[in-house]
Structure 1
C-alpha cells in the first residue's frame, strides 16, 4: 500500500486554510470551487503533492492511503439518515475540500446524473430499509466486490473514500491486481469481448429523485435511464481484462454479470479469476481522517457487513469518482466544462 501520514504541523497549516475556503464557497458542489480545485491543490504540502504524483504516475500500489487529517466528531454531529440531507450546511466541509483537492491532483472529479441526484461528492452511509440491497447504503450484508461502474465506458480511473466515522471498524475489501498470479489464468480468454456486464443498482431510477427541477437536465437524465434500461435488457459484451497482457487492468462486477450465454472457456476463465480475487482479498479498515484512493483499473473493492444503529453514530464516508480522461466522456456531458455524465 502507498501510504502517507499527515503531521500535526501540516494539520495546523491546513485546517485554517480549509476553513477559510469552506466559508468562501459554502458547499462542495459550488461550481466555482470545482473549477478552482486543480489550481488550489498546488497549495497542499509539497510532501503530499509528491506522494500523490508518485501514485498517479508509477502505480506503486492499487491503494493510496492518506491518514491523519483532523476530524472532530463533536463538530460533525450525527450521521445523516440519508444522503439527500447532506448537500448544504455540511459540518465536514473543510475535510471535504481537502479530499477534493487531493483528488484534483490525480485527475478530474466527476458525477453521474443517475447517482445521488448528479452530485460530485457522494455520501456513503447506511439507509434504513436498504440493509439487504446491493447498494453502498446497505449494511447487514456484504457489498459484493466489484470494479466501480464496470458496465460503463466512462467509468473512473479511481474511486476514493474519505472516512468521517467508522465506529465498528467495518472493513473495505480490496484486491490488488498485482497480487494475482496471471500465469495461472487464461488471460487471452479474459481479453475477449464476450463478457456481459449490466448496470449496477445504484444507477436505477428508484434510487434518485424524480426530477432535478431543470427540464433540460431531466430530459438528459431520462435519456441516461433509457440507455441503462437497454443495457439491462441487452447487456453489452466487453472484455474483463485490458491493457498489458502480462500485467493487466480489470473491469468486472460479478454480481451484475449475466453468465448464461458464455462459452465454457470464458466461464472457466472468469471463475478462476474470481477464485483468485477471493483468495487475495484484503481488508482495509478506514478510520476518521483516512482517505483511500483505489485504482479502479488495478483493483476491485467491496465492504464487509456491519450492524447499523440509526442513532446518529453510524459509519459515514464521502466518495469521489476521478477520471484521467475527462474528454473521453464529452459525448455524455452537456458541455466541455460540465463534470456530470448524463
Structure 2
C-alpha cells in the first residue's frame, strides 16, 4: 500500500485534509471479503450491516490500521484508490430503486466503512436505504441536493439539522466518474487556523440556527428552524464543526459576519478531488465540511454514479429512533 507518511499521535499537523492511499495491492482480498456480504441492504438491512461489520474484522492489518488512524487523527478526508468496480450497467436515471446496492463497489464500501462505524440509514432519505444512489436527476438540477448538478453544492455538514443522530462518517464509492465534477473539503482545523481569534470565538457561541435539509423535508421531516447551536465546538486542537452555507442563519449582525467569514475561507482554501472509478472517499462529518462543483450531465447512461453509505461510531445514541435490531433511523430521530 502506498500512501503519504501517516502522522503519529503528536504529529497532527502532518496529516493532510485529504489523505490519499492506493490500496490496489489489497483489492483482490477486499473484493473477496466483500462477497461475504450477501444480504440485500434494502430488504434485510439488519443482516447487511451485521455481515459488513463481521467481514470488516478480517480486513488486512495495514488497511485496518490506516482506517483506525484516520478515525483518531484524520483531518477530514481519506481517499482510498484502487478498488475493483467490476462490470456495471448504465447509470440509473433515478436514485430510488436503482441497482447500486447490488454492485461490488457498494459491498466494498460497506466493508471498509464498517471498520470504523456502524452503518445506518435514515428513513426520510432514499426510503432509509443503507446504500444510497448518487446520480444526477433532471428535476433536481438546480436544487441543493446530492442529485443536483447545474449549481455548486454549497459547503455543509451532512445533516446539519440533525442534532441527535447525524452521521459521524460518510463514504462515497465511485462506480463511474465525471472529470468536471469535483468534490470539495475544508477541515475545521484549517478553518480555525485561517480565521481571526475573535471570529473563531463568535463561531463558538450557540446563537446559530438551521433549517431542515430539503431531502429530509421531502421525506416527511417537518420544515422547521432548529437551534440555537454553535458552528464550532469541542477542543481548540481538534474542533467539531456544524455548518450549512445554504440553511444556517443567526439573528446577530456580528455573528452573521462570522458566518460570512466561513464562506470566504471555504471559497479560497477548500481541497478539491475528482473521484474516479474504484475510488472510495471517506469523510469525517464532524471534522470537515464538504461540497461539490457543478457539472453537466449528458443523460446518456454514462453520467457520474456514486454509492453513499453513512455510519455512527456509537450506535446507542440512535437507539431511541430505531426498531429492534434495525439500523434504520426513523423520522423522529432526524
Shorter-chain TM band? 0.7 to 0.9
Structure 1 position 96, deviation (Å)? 1.2
Does the CA-based 8 Å contact 1:29-1:121 persist in structure 2? no
1:57 matched to which residue of 2? 72
Q: What is the rounded CA distance, in whole Å, between the counterparts of 2:66 and 2:184 in structure 1? A: 23
Which structure 2 residues correspond to residues 196-207 of structure 1 after superposition, within 5 A?
A: 196-205=209-218
Q: Does the aligned pair in 1 maintain the 2:40–2:48 contact within 8 Å?
A: no
1:152 aligns with 2:129: no
Q: Does 1:284 align with 2:273?
A: yes
Tell me, yes or no, if the aligned pair for 1:28 and 1:96 is still in contact at 8 Å: no
Aligned 8 A contact 1:196 1:237 in 2:
yes
Match of 1:133 in 2: 143
- The equivalent of 2:117 in structure 1 is 107
Partner of 2:55, secondary structure, is: helix
Alpha-carbon deviations, 1:133-166, whole Å to 9, x = none? Answer: 1111111111111110011111111122111101
Normalized per residue, which structure has more helix?
Answer: 1
In the alignment, is the contact (CA less than 8 A) between 1:27 and 1:88 conserved in 2?
A: no
Q: 2:98 aligns with which of 86, 95, 99?
A: 86
Distance 1:138 1:109, change over 3 A: same
Indicate if the aligned counterparts of 1:28 and 1:97 stay in contact, CA closer than 8 A.
Answer: no
* Alignment-derived partner of residue 12 in structure 2: none
Match of 1:42? 57
Match of 1:118 in 2: 128
* Residue in 1 that maps onto 2:4: none
User: Is the contact between residue 29 and residue 119 of structure 1 (CA under 8 Å) also seen in structure 2?
Assistant: no
Give runs of ≥4 in structure 1 deviating > 6 Å.
none
Deviation at 1:182, TM superposition (A): 5.4
* 255 and 304 in structure 1: CA distance in 2 versus 1, 3 angstrom threshold: same
How many residues get paired?
309
Deviations 1:223-245 (A, max 9, x none): xx2xx33xx2x432111111013
Alignment of structure 1 residues 261-272 onto 2, 5 Å = 262-272=251-261
- Would you say 1:66 and 2:80 are equivalent positions? yes
Whether the aligned pair in 2 keeps the contact of 1:37 and 1:100 (CA below 8 Å) is yes
Q: CA deviation at 1:274?
A: 2.2
- The answer for the alignment partner of 1:304 in structure 2 is 293
Tell me: CA distance 1:89–1:298, structure 2 relative to 1, closer, same or farther (3 Å): closer
| 1:12 corresponds to 2:28 | yes
Cα distance in 2 between the residues matched to 1:100 and 1:177: 26
1:254 Cα deviation from its structure 2 partner:
1.7
Partners of 2:174 and 2:279 within 8 A in 1: yes
Task: Kindly indicate whether the alpha-carbon contact (under 8 Å) linking 2:24 and 2:81 is maintained by their aligned counterparts in 1.
Answer: no
> Does 1:173 pair with 2:184?
yes
Aligned-residue Cα RMSD (Å) equals: 2.0
Contact map agreement 2:169 2:311 (CA 8 A) in 1: yes
**Cα distance, 1:132–1:298 mapped onto 2, change above 3 Å:** same
Distance in structure 2 (CA, Å) of the matches to 1:119 and 1:27: 7
SS in 2 for 1:76: coil
Task: Assess, with a 3 A threshold, how the Cα gap between structure 1 residues 254 and 14 changes in structure 2: closer, same or farther.
Answer: closer
1:312 deviation in Å?
Answer: 0.7
Cα distance in structure 1, aligned partners of 2:63 and 2:318: 29
> Is the 2:155–2:289 contact (alpha carbons within 8 Å) kept by the matching residues of 1?
yes
1:274 maps to: 263
The answer for unaligned runs of 5 or more in structure 1 is 209-221
CA deviation after TM superposition for structure 1 residue 70, in Å? 1.4
Structure 2 residues not aligned, in runs of 5+: 1-17
Query: How far apart are the structure 1 equivalents of 2:129 and 2:303?
Result: 22
Contact 1:108 / 1:326 at 8 angstroms: preserved in 2? yes
Residue of structure 2 equivalent to 1:97: 107
Higher relative contact order (CA 8 A, sep 6+): 1
